[in-house]
Amino acid sequence: MPFPRHVESVSGTYWAAHPFRAGRSCKAFARKRYIKGSFMKYEVERALAIETVSKASHLCEAIRKELVSEETLLKKDKSPVTVADFAVQALVSLDLHRAFPADPLVAEEDTLDFDTEGGARLRDRVLHFVRAADPGVPEAQALSAIARGRHADRTARRYWVLDPIDGTKGFLRGEQYAIALALIVEGEVVLGVLGGPNFPHSDGSKGCLFAAVAGQGAAMRALNSPREERISVSQIADPTQAVFCESVESAHSAHDEAARIAAVLGVAAPPLRMDSQCKYAAVARGDASIYLRLPTRADYEEKVWDHAAGWRLLKEAGGEVSDIYGRPLDFSLGPTLSANTGVVATNGHLHAQVLAAIRQVLSPPH
């Protein structure tokens, strides 16, 4: 998918030719190519993140349709999602490196998997799909793009964080999964883009893309449309009217404890269960008002790439996010949220009440 000549943005309308494929720097793009509209902070990064996550979303659906079958589901074969993970990481890494060659990328996958038994076949399948989205890319360049995600300088002032496929089982089932990309500058998540290929848009179409920049609000567009609309959290302040959002898999969050918390709050509606950071999008758009990710074991540390993009989206939509003790999420400590325990995300109006209910349910008896 080429970079659109006409890019709609919540901050203005811009006309641009594609600068990245020609190897021009984004600084030159900002200086020479934006000839209409006011320039906003991180606007170039935002445009590129939207482009590459959109391409990755289409690539994921192509991989899923070609590789996922009833047989793979019956056998619980995760190889299609493995191919998608690698292909998306390569695609996004290539785009970012062309535009911002000095920016490290922190991501999950590593080409060491290609050295295992069956690794050559995996590599060939990944390259096939990468080249479908980015024709002509050399093998060495594609493999290097994947590897740079696992060998990044996490002490850098500025770096990108990617979860290429967030929601493995949602991907395989054809349900909710996300491509999550965020930019961290001096320990703060300043930009987040989420692609939800199966997330329903308000116009009835399938597939949504969400974008947010610090201080600039949150926006949504249909996956195949450049038109954006602002989104914001629900205004519900009575927990009995709230909808909970939680993971499908009980291994990811303690469902029994969440049910007890919901009972304390008087929540009557059944939980909205879905995989991936699409839960952040659901709260940001007002489909739900509470998202809990309660720790299932004491030593578990949440991964930065599992929350960064969704965190920024929800904050910009007017919501609140903390850990179960009310502490802000700290993205400055490396690949994990090591200073935090669990995640509590709400529309903001309910946050204090939810934290109080968590304390009541999770506090040890005296």
What is the set of active-site residues? 85, 168
The residue type at 46: R
- 3-state SS class at 99: helix
In whole angstroms, what is the distance from residue 12 CA to residue 16 CA? 13
Closest CA to 286 of 220, 333, 196, 212: 220
Maximal C-alpha separation, the chain: 66
Written as one string, the DSSP assignment of 287-348 is S-SEEEE--SSTT---BGGGTHHHHHHHHHTT-EEE-TTSPPP--SSSSB-TT--SEEEE-S
Pairing, β 320-322 against β 158-166: unpaired
CA separation, residue 218 to residues 51, 175, 191, 285 (Å): 17, 23, 10, 9
Residue pair 301/338 in contact by the 8 Å Cβ criterion? yes
What's the order of all strands across the beta sheet hosting 188-200?
Answer: 105-106, 158-166, 178-185, 188-200, 206-213, 218-222, 228-230
Residue pair 35/5 in contact by the 8 Å Cβ criterion? no
Closest CA to 163 of 250, 292, 42, 277: 277
Residue 188: other Cβ atoms inside 10 A: 11
In whole angstroms, what is the distance from residue 9 CA to residue 62 CA? 27
Closest CA to 227 of 55, 37, 7, 47: 7
183 dihedral zone (left: phi>0; alpha: psi -120 to 50; beta): beta
